Structures are given as C-alpha cells and as structure tokens.
Amino acid sequence: MVSQAAAALPDLAVSVKGLVKIYAGNKANRTPKLALDHVDLAIPRGGIFGLLGPNGAGKSTLINILAQLVRKTEGTVKIWDIDLDKDPRHAAAAIGVVPQELNIDPFFTPKDLLDLQAGMYGVPKAERRSMELLEALSLADKAQSYARTLSGGMRRRLMVAKAMVHNPPVLVLDEPTAGVDVELRQQLWAYVRELNKAGVTVLLTTHYLEEAEELCDNIAIINHGKVIACEPTAQLLGRLDSKEVVITLASDLATAPASLAEFHPQMLGPRRLKLHYRPSQAKVGAILDAIRRAELEIVDLSTLESDLEDIFLELTRRQPANS
Ligand SMILES: Nc1ncnc2c1ncn2[C@@H]1O[C@H](COP(=O)(O)OP(=O)(O)OP(=O)(O)O)[C@@H](O)[C@H]1O
C-alpha cells in the first residue's frame, strides 16, 4: 500500500525533539499553560505506537502539532524524515490524522467527503479510492447517505477513511475508541492492524492501558506534558510491580487487622478489603496465608492489574533512578 522505495524508508516514522508548547492565556484565564515540556519521542517505522496519558497530559496537543493544527513553541518535528518547519506540505502528505472530535459536514455523503478530501490533498481522480476505503471500513452501503444519518461508530470509521485518502505512511488516531462500542472497536482495530501489516505506521492515543497493551508494540507515557516512560510494551509492563487483591469476607470487619499492614489494606466496605502487593516481593499465596492467620474467612477474591494511576506512581517513584 505504501509505495516508497525500500532504500528511501526512514528508520523513524516520527521524530520529536525538545518539543515545547505553551498556550497563551485567554480572557478567562490569563496564565499561560505549559502543555508540552521538552518532549523527545522516536516512533519507529512499521509499528503501532501508543501514547498513553490521563486527561490533560498533552496527547492531543502533540498530535495537533503533528497535524499542523497547533503551532509548536519550540523544538523539532520530523514526519517520515521531513522537517515540519522546512517542508510543511510534504510533512502533511506523510501523515493522516483522525481527530478526537468527529467533525463531519452533515450534508455531505461519505463518498463526497472522501472525494473532497482527496481533492484537497491533490490526489488525481484516477488514483482516488473512496469506494475502496468505504468498503474496507464497512461503510460501502452508506456511501450515498447524508453523513448526519451515520451512527457515532460509523462516523469514527469515516474519519479513519478520510485520514487515509492520500495514502499516508503514518496514521494517527486520537482517542479512537471514545464512544465506540466493543464490537465496532474490534472492527476498527482489525482494520488498523491490516493497515499496519500493509506498512502503515500507526500512532494512537488512549487513556486505557489495556488498549495500548493489546495493540501497541511500543508505549510512551506522558504526564503533565512530560514523557515519563517510552519503551517496548512487554518491557514496560514487566517493569510494573504492583498488583491488588480484593477480598470479600464471610463476616463484617470494623478495621483491617494490623497483621496485614505490610499489604497496605483498604476497607472498601464492611466485608470488602483491598490489599496491595508487589509480585516481585510477595506471591498472592503469602497474602492468603496472612489472611488465614488473621482468622478471616474468604468468600471471594479477585486480583487487579495495575491501572494507569498505579503506573504513574510506580514510574514517578522510580524516575530519579532512571533519569
Ligand atoms: N487551546 C488551548 N488553550 C489553552 N490551554 C489548552 C488549550 N488546549 C489544551 N490546553 C491545555 O493543555 C493541556 C494539555 O491538553 P491536551 O488536550 O493536549 O491533553 P490530552 O492529553 O489530549 O487530554 P485529553 O485526553 O483530555 O484529550 C491541558 O492542561 C489543557 O487544558
């Protein structure tokens, strides 16, 4: 699908160095906002790269800079080895962006929208593949419907098709599964994986660790405008050393027994107790033994993987050692 000569392929699909974005204050809030604080990112060609972070971390700002919708304050950005400052037009041609907001002109049909977008990118008529894209995204039967009649999931898929009209080697998806139900999410991921297999490098942002874990071969975590981790998914997950067990007890408990203190117990209710442990230092069996010694009867038990919050705690705690 991507027709660059092998010799010309860059090692990095996207390279960001020392990227800073300061939003100027507005009338309501005059304080300038540092949204990206010297971000370095090297996104290898050919993979699916996840940019993970909580609300307000700076993910959309970064993506909007790549899409040239937001002007950076400082730093260098290269897309497919093309410097955004030196050659913005070719940098734009190398990337397709699916924004978070589904802004679709309601009075156009999906087919018209794709044709128009292709025209905007200067794709010659003979090379336009609007119907092929609509088919790939299960939208062929909606090709001639008004966009306003499409469901949220269909709109999202139409936005993906729109981002691909000029056949860019890099596809960026900003929070692609927000508001998309499980089945459509799977379809969307299947298509993204297909594109990736065909050679498209994918960059996606998400709040969800599970999503990044399922799809991405590399993950960067961004928090308060700073990249706090960037590594292969397996390595990142392996480095996380925090799990929780939630235990339902047979009878009420006023406070957690002192003998469980090493597991930082938290009462979730009179019969529900949450315990924390580090898999590298304690096995879940050790927790069960401690509970039995405390003469508590277990009715049910579930373990929880670390969530994003835990990861931040873990990574920020370790940061001085790693930096
Ligand atoms: N146009 C703007 N003017 C001022 N501040 C902004 C503007 N856009 C974003 N910000 C601020 O910059 C910070 C980063 O926002 P950004 O939208 O990039 O985060 P995000 O990680 O994409 O969050 P979300 O997941 O909620 O989209 C936030 O504190 C946000 O309030």
Backbone angles phi, psi at 157, to 5 degrees: -65, -35
Q: Name the residue of 60, 72, 207, 208 to mutate for ligand 1: max ligand atoms within 8 A of Cβ.
A: 60
Q: Name the residue of 19, 29, 59 to mutate for ligand 1: max ligand atoms within 8 A of Cβ.
A: 59
CA of 235 to the centre of ligand 1 (A): 29
Atom number, ligand 1, closest to the C-alpha of residue 225: 14
pLDDT classification of 304: cutoffs 50, 70, 90 = confident
pLDDT classification of 29: cutoffs 50, 70, 90 = confident
Is the minimum distance from the CB of 55 to ligand 1 under 6 angstroms? yes
Nearest CA to ligand 1 atom 17: 60
CA of 178 to the centre of ligand 1 (A): 16
Is the minimum distance from the CB of 56 to ligand 1 under 6 angstroms? yes
Task: Determine the average pLDDT of the residues in 193-202.
Answer: 95
Which ipTM did the prediction report? 0.96
Q: Average pLDDT of the chain?
A: 87
Tell me, what's the pLDDT at 307? Answer: 60
The yes-or-no verdict on residue 219 having pLDDT over 90 is yes
Nearest CA to ligand 1 atom 29: 56
CA of 309 to the centre of ligand 1 (A): 19
Q: How many CA atoms lie within 13 A of 30 on its CB side?
A: 0
pLDDT classification of 104: cutoffs 50, 70, 90 = confident
pLDDT digits (tens, 9 = 90+) for 135-174: 988 899 999 998 888 888 888 889 999 999 999 999 999 9
The yes-or-no verdict on residue 213 having pLDDT over 90 is no
